Structure 1
Amino acid sequence: MNIYFRLLKILKPFIKYIVAVFLLTFLYVFFNNLSLWVSVDFVQELFTTDIQQNVVSEKPSAVSNDSLANAKNKMLSLPGQSETNRFYERVKNSIKSVLIQDDKYETLLVVCLVIFLTFLFKNIVHFTRRILLDFVELKITVNLRNRMHNALMHLPLRYFEKKHTGEINSIIINDVLSINYALSTSFGKLILSPIQILANLVILFSISMQLSVITLTVIPVIAFITVKIGQSMRRKSRRMLEQNARMVATFQESVTGIRIVKAFTNEFREIQKFRHENNEYFKKNFKQRQLNNLTSPLNEVIYVLLVVFLLWYGGNLVYSHAGLGAEDFIRYLLFLFMMIQPIKDLSGVNNTIQTGIAAAQRVFSIMDEAQEAYKEDKGLKLEEFNKDIIFENVGFMYNDVDGYVLKNINLHVDKGEMVAFVGPSGAGKTTLINLLPRFYEVTEGSIKIDGVDIRRFNLKSLRAKMSIVTQDTILFNDTIRYNIAYGLDEVKEEDIIHAAKVANAWEFIEKMDEGLDTHIGERGVRLSGGQKQRISIARAILKNPPILILDEATSALDTESERLVQEAIDNLLKDRTVLVIAHRLSTIKNATKIVVMNKGQVEAVGRHEELMRKSGVYKNLYENQIIVTNSVS
């Protein structure tokens, strides 16, 4: 039931619109039923020779109005009539007193006018109601997608490492679309159908209690079938959505890795892999649709069996003059048939809602993940970096199964120092420097800036004092200006140009037709590798943080590009506290201290010459050219 309460909370901001929709729905049902009622009167009067039968009889001049009123009262209080029957007769005669005139042509004109007006008002109300419903449905979908994206942006890196990007994309796009579809096809019906059914039941009971009691016996049967099929629909919908996520992930991998796919001529296997996932999606989706398509015809067959029985039973009542007239029976059948569609809609609505709930559970699973504490009012604000960074007995593990990847790390970094981290692949270098901006929280020990545990600082203020240049250059599908000034507000153009010049990027930017406003494509696809790295460095220079985290690139560039990138990095390193995962000998030799890591521990700390003498791991890295010795001067 919790999922239903959560969905109701989403509706809370739109309560005034929903109340208006309810009121408009009552009006819609009223005008719709009135038009049906008048249509029966129209047929009755059209084919009756005496158009004022049972209402305003042709009365002799000797009969007074009082006598007519007394006759009506006697008719309404015949023995054996129930209160509901008397109520029905009053309503019927009240409507006829308005419709039926002294002349049959006038009566025909009034009936036609009333039918037109009821349909006109019904459709005006229907239009207004649909506009409000569409507004609420779309706003809910947009708000839900915004909330989900907001939650994703505040989730820790750990979440993204255990979830496939394709699965996340599938949830935020396909699952939210499933919720939107459930709202657009079901929300209006969920309000309209019950009101239509209740209104029709009131009319049916007022016409004939006997027939209506028989009608009610079938409703629990239909409800039971609807609920049972709905439960199965939710399970099948969840499996279908999960399979859809796997299919999207497979497709995304094959497209993003298309260069490798083609390099290894592995197109056929990728095609087969995607076809398998796509076929599995077809099977699960088809099973879900089979079940969905079963609900409506099954309920309709049961309902028609009821109608056929009522035709036989009610017809016998009419023939035997047992309290049910032909006009009343026709009206009863008309309103009974008009209940078929809302009952079908309501049974179909349940299936659609269950699909939407299965999607909502996956959406809420992301929103329920523990988020990073971004609020500025939480924690201390790191105003300045003045003294040092200290790692004290730091231990870290990603999960209990794999155990510790960092153990007993003790390190002191003074302000202005450049510390180079070296070590074999998997030694824990990247993991260690990712602890400083709190991409992960330490499992043991602490990291302190100016003597204060970084866990006490507000995340936003902590990360504002750092800039990160990754080995894998991340650029956004926007302009060069946007990418250099990323994360900063109201940046002057001269500052962007200055950062680009310091990063050796202005040379190629100013040659472009649109300069800083040039769109660079997805992940900077329109730029070369060296150009992308220099844009990334310009971004870090513009931010101008006191602490720099650099994962030095090892990708091969041409000689000129490498020289320009290396110069840009040298400019970036000036007057900052730098923690760098180093690969080039020039970077390592310029470091204040070199930290050699091996198997999640600090193996040695020192300068190049010192480590060549005392660290076997460092010497082995150097001799095996894991440290690049041919860096450009």
Structure 2
Amino acid sequence: MGKKQKINWAVYGRLLSYVKPYKGRLMLGIFFGFVTGGSIFGLLTQTASVMGNVVGNEKSVQSVSRYTVNSPNQVDLEILVENKKNEAGDFTEKIHIGDSLSVVAQETIDKTKRKEWDKKVATIPVFLRDFLEQECGLELQDPISGEPTGAILVIGGFFLMIALMLKSIGTFFNRYFMRWVGLRVVADLREKLFGKLMNQSMEFHNSEEVGEMMSRCQNDTGTIQSAISENIGQLTRSPIEIFSVLGFITWFSIQNDLTGILLFLLLGMPIFLLPIFLLGSRLKKYAKKTMQQISNVMVRMQETLSCVRLVKAYNMEKYENDRFSKSNNRFFKLTMKSKRYELLLAPMTEAAAVLFLLVFLTYSVIHEVSFDKIIALGLAANLAYKPFKSLTKIQANIIKTVVAAERIFEYLDMDYEIAEKEDAKSLPSFEKEITFRDVCFSYAGQQTLKNVNITIAKGDFVAFVGEAGSGKTTLVNMFARFYDIHEGSISIDGVDIRDLKNKSLRGLIGFVDQVTTLFNDSVKYNIAYGVEGATEDQISKASKQADVTGFIEEKNEGFDFNVGTAGNKLSGGQRQRVAIARAILKNPPILVLDEATSALDNVTEQLVQKAINQLMGDRTVIAIAHRLSTVKDANCIYVMDKGCVAEYGSHEDLLVQNGLYARLWNTQFKEVV
């Protein structure tokens, strides 16, 4: 059987700490849990009282004897004689003076019993006694013997009804408030987890699977949501119900001199918990493996659907189906193993309950416990069974919750790779220059930038060119703090960007990336994304500059046209123009163009390039380009090679140098310098 797995209660306690902001509703839920528990105690006491009246009120019978009736006057005497369990009903017989009377059953009044009955009836509220006796004409006690009549059942039923109503009301509000708290906690947890992921660096996102992140945000929090909503309610309600039952059993046993039964029940009830300890460790083991495997399924699905064009192009549908099927079947098998142990908890607990009941009945018969007392104690034990059974489910839920929480806290406890300083400041504007000083960067143990030193004056148009993997995009990503600087520094107007608030830094920069990113929303939404309060006129003006208006006018919905997932309802050129319009609308002092026109045809490229040239004005433009024709007018072109600046200068100067830039130019245009 492997090493025994233990529940990490510290993790569960940390999870419950998220309940603190909602302690008001939590206390209300606990209060109604007490109402439920208290009503169970009342329910049991009233049921025991009713059973005692129905089953326990037997008449006391003496032995047969003979009597002679003597009277000075010859009168007829009518005597009512009741036989025990007389099926024929009451009977009367006329007797005369001197006759002998054979008393078949003599009813005697036990003074002790009379006191008990009087005391019991005296506990009934006066208003209720008056109502039943005066308004309904019901006698609560026999006028001769004083024993309670059948009308006492009405009283018992009344209090029984109140107890049941309180139990129903208490259960509803306990579950409502507890589930509200549970769902709110999970919503907060999911929001915090999402925020943590959003603020991680691009280095983290490039190394982590999207499917894995989605699984932890959705599946793991979903596991917690279903479990914590139940757990918090059950953890507050079930113990109260159990203590109410135990309280009744203790009270009832002492009242009826059943100390032996009391000890038997208190020592025997923990047998319900035995299956929990037997199956709990196995359940945790497979619950953890199941959550890891569903992450693998999500990763496989996300990756394949994202690359569906490639899959179809290379006829790999069957291969991907088979690969997904293996991962999915693995998840199925692990889930069933986990479910096997989870589902075994209930029948094992029920079997333990039946065994306990048989032993209890045998013990009661041997010790001649009356039937009404067995019924009362049996009902109490039955009411204790449900909360005990709930606790077995809580055990299974807690195991799964802790496993899911461990995976979530693993993300929440990660340090931000790009930590913002506590005293970080804002930079309202860009006035002078951007300086890269001895900048170095390594990725996966390989150095991708080496001692880069560059100064970009305000208003300059600079370009970075070079072969793929030379470090162009990495340099720009570090400037925007998508990646952190490993060595050296980057400053704006003499202020190190690590001393700036990220929001302030990125507010100065507008991006048009190589890979255009659009949301599944309208064209207007995508253009105005990140620009709060953008007006219709501003959106329209930016759209005209980026030549978006041309293809939008062809759509019936106009700017409300939905671009689809990742903008798949638009062509590559149209997506790129929407992204350029977004950057134009932001109107930043620094504009970063990462292959901004790479997806455009020649005609559209000229239109967009013209718009970009108009946008430049006194702005600083940093362009990354493979198509050298788009940057030949730059003030300075930096040629990157293996993470270093190999050459720099104007287009004409670099051609004259006849170095790496000249070779790249000649390769693209087949010209000889």
Amino acid at match of 2:173: T
Provide the aligned C-alpha RMSD in A.
3.1
State the Cα distance separating 1:622 from its structure 2 match. Answer: 2.5
The separation in 2 between residues aligned to 1:69 and 1:336, in whole angstroms, is 29
The separation in 1 between residues aligned to 2:16 and 2:599, in whole angstroms, is 56
Per the alignment, do residues 582 and 316 of structure 1 end up closer, same or farther by CA in structure 2, a change over 3 Å counting? same
Residue in 2 that maps onto 1:337: 382
The separation in 1 between residues aligned to 2:236 and 2:120, in whole angstroms, is 26
State the Cα distance separating 1:91 from its structure 2 match. Answer: 9.8
- Mapping for residues 557-572 of structure 1, pairs under 5 Å: 557-572=600-615
The separation in 1 between residues aligned to 2:14 and 2:175, in whole angstroms, is 24
Greater gyration radius: 2
Residue in 1 that maps onto 2:327: 277
The separation in 2 between residues aligned to 1:71 and 1:570, in whole angstroms, is 107
1:442-500 Cα distance to aligned partner (Å, 9 max, x none): 11111111112111111111110001110111111122222111112112221111111
The counterpart of 1:412, out of the listed 439, 445, 455, is 455
> 517-526 or 224-233: which moved more?
224-233
Q: Which has the higher helix share?
A: 1
The separation in 1 between residues aligned to 2:382 and 2:318, in whole angstroms, is 56
**Is structure 2 residue 30 aligned with structure 1 residue 22?**
yes
Residue in 2 that maps onto 1:127: 172
Residue in 1 that maps onto 2:191: 146
State the Cα distance separating 1:414 from its structure 2 match. Answer: 1.1
- Mapping for residues 142-221 of structure 1, pairs under 5 Å: 142-206=187-251, 207=253, 208-218=258-268
Residue in 2 that maps onto 1:471: 514
State the Cα distance separating 1:14 from its structure 2 match. Answer: 1.6
Conserved? CA contact 1:529–1:557, under 8 Å: yes
1:362 aligned counterpart, secondary structure: helix
Per the alignment, do residues 221 and 588 of structure 1 end up closer, same or farther by CA in structure 2, a change over 3 Å counting? same
Residue in 2 that maps onto 1:83: none
The separation in 1 between residues aligned to 2:393 and 2:367, in whole angstroms, is 34
2:446 aligned counterpart, secondary structure: coil
State the Cα distance separating 1:335 from its structure 2 match. Answer: 0.9
1:409 aligned counterpart, secondary structure: strand
The separation in 2 between residues aligned to 1:72 and 1:96, in whole angstroms, is 17
State the Cα distance separating 1:306 from its structure 2 match. Answer: 2.4
Conserved? CA contact 1:537–1:572, under 8 Å: no
1:6-58 Cα distance to aligned partner (Å, 9 max, x none): 112111112121221122112112223423443343344334554999xxxxx
State the Cα distance separating 1:94 from its structure 2 match. Answer: 5.7
1:335-357 Cα distance to aligned partner (Å, 9 max, x none): 11222221111011111111112
Conserved? CA contact 1:500–1:538, under 8 Å: yes
Residue in 2 that maps onto 1:439: 482
The separation in 2 between residues aligned to 1:475 and 1:556, in whole angstroms, is 15
1:155 aligned counterpart, secondary structure: coil
- Mapping for residues 208-287 of structure 1, pairs under 5 Å: 208-218=258-268, 222-223=272-273, 225-227=275-277, 229-287=279-337
Amino acid at match of 1:438: R
Amino acid at match of 1:442: I
Residue in 2 that maps onto 1:610: 653
The counterpart of 1:361, out of the listed 406, 410, 421, is 406
**Is structure 2 residue 546 aligned with structure 1 residue 503?**
yes
State the Cα distance separating 1:116 from its structure 2 match. Answer: 2.4
> 433-442 or 514-523: which moved more?
514-523
Amino acid at match of 1:366: Y
State the Cα distance separating 1:221 from its structure 2 match. Answer: 5.5
Conserved? CA contact 1:393–1:446, under 8 Å: yes
The separation in 2 between residues aligned to 1:51 and 1:124, in whole angstroms, is 40
Per the alignment, do residues 593 and 51 of structure 1 end up closer, same or farther by CA in structure 2, a change over 3 Å counting? farther
Conserved? CA contact 2:287–2:400, under 8 Å: yes
Identity of aligned residues (%): 34
Aligned residue pairs, count = 598
**Is structure 2 residue 16 aligned with structure 1 residue 8?**
yes
The answer for unaligned runs of 5 or more in structure 2 is 1-8, 62-105, 130-138, 143-148
Residue in 2 that maps onto 1:549: 592
Conserved? CA contact 1:28–1:122, under 8 Å: yes
State the Cα distance separating 1:292 from its structure 2 match. Answer: 0.8
The separation in 1 between residues aligned to 2:270 and 2:51, in whole angstroms, is 34
1:118-159 Cα distance to aligned partner (Å, 9 max, x none): 222321222222222232222222222222222222222122
The separation in 2 between residues aligned to 1:467 and 1:43, in whole angstroms, is 82
Amino acid at match of 1:290: R
2:455 aligned counterpart, secondary structure: strand
1:523-549 Cα distance to aligned partner (Å, 9 max, x none): 122222211111111111111111111
**Is structure 2 residue 524 aligned with structure 1 residue 481?**
yes
Conserved? CA contact 1:154–1:374, under 8 Å: no
2:631 aligned counterpart, secondary structure: helix
Per the alignment, do residues 451 and 277 of structure 1 end up closer, same or farther by CA in structure 2, a change over 3 Å counting? same
Conserved? CA contact 2:458–2:618, under 8 Å: no
TM-score normalised by the chain length of structure 2: 0.82
> 109-118 or 344-353: which moved more?
109-118
2:443 aligned counterpart, secondary structure: coil
Residue in 1 that maps onto 2:64: none
